[in-house]
Amino acid sequence: MRKENSTNAINERILNGLCQTAHTLSVIGGRWKPTILWRLLEGKMRYHELKKSISGISERVLVLQLRELENDQLITRIVYPEVPPRVEYELTPLGRSLESLLEHMCSWGEMHRDATRQAGELAVSKN
């Protein structure tokens, strides 16, 4: 038995229980999750459309993130029993309820980037 495993994981669970902010992070905190959610906010999409519209993501990771989002009940996976297989992903109401939060994060990010870039440029041009 190896050391009553990982304070790391334990800490994470405790925090997610105590702090709803941490919980939210654990839900949308995957590298590609915001991107996926943005895409789906525009309407349901097929697996391959998602794949092509998100440049840089690998299939494995895309599937993993989709599964996690599904588990967290943010998206639904709809399989059409058709000849060439067809699978669509769609936001649940819970998923759509993220829209305003995502927008909030996005605009804060923009503001923060501008604010810090300015500071950087000032430091450079201060000659």
Partner DNA sequence: CCGGACGCTAACCCAGAGGTTAGCGCTTTC
Partner DNA sequence: GAAAGCGCTAACCTCTGGGTTAGCGTCCGG
State the minimum distance, in angstroms, from the CB of residue 59 to a copy of itself.
14
State the minimum distance, in angstroms, from the CB of residue 95 to DNA.
17
Instruction: Say how far apart CA 74 and CA 21 lie, in whole Å.
Output: 17
Instruction: Say how far apart CA 52 and CA 65 lie, in whole Å.
Output: 15
79 binding DNA? (CB under 7 A)? yes
What would the two tokens of residue 68 be?
């996690």
105 binding a copy of itself? (CB under 8 A)? yes
Start-end of H helices in 46-126? 47-53, 59-71, 93-96, 99-125
Q: Give residue 108's identity as a one-letter amino acid code.
A: W
State the minimum distance, in angstroms, from the CB of residue 121 to DNA.
25
Task: Give the binding range for DNA (CB under 7 A) out of 30-38, 91-99, 104-112, 116-124.
Answer: 30-38
Task: Give the binding range for a copy of itself (CB under 8 A) out of 44-52, 62-70, 78-86, 101-109.
Answer: 101-109
Instruction: Say how far apart CA 103 and CA 38 lie, in whole Å.
Output: 10
What would the two tokens of residue 56 be?
């840089």
Residue of the chain from 49, 78, 112, 121 that contacts a copy of itself (CB under 8 A): 112
Q: Give residue 46's identity as a one-letter amino acid code.
A: R
Task: Give the binding range for DNA (CB under 7 A) out of 35-43, 50-58, 107-115, 118-126.
Answer: 50-58
Residue 67: CB atoms within 10 Å: 12
100 binding DNA? (CB under 7 A)? no
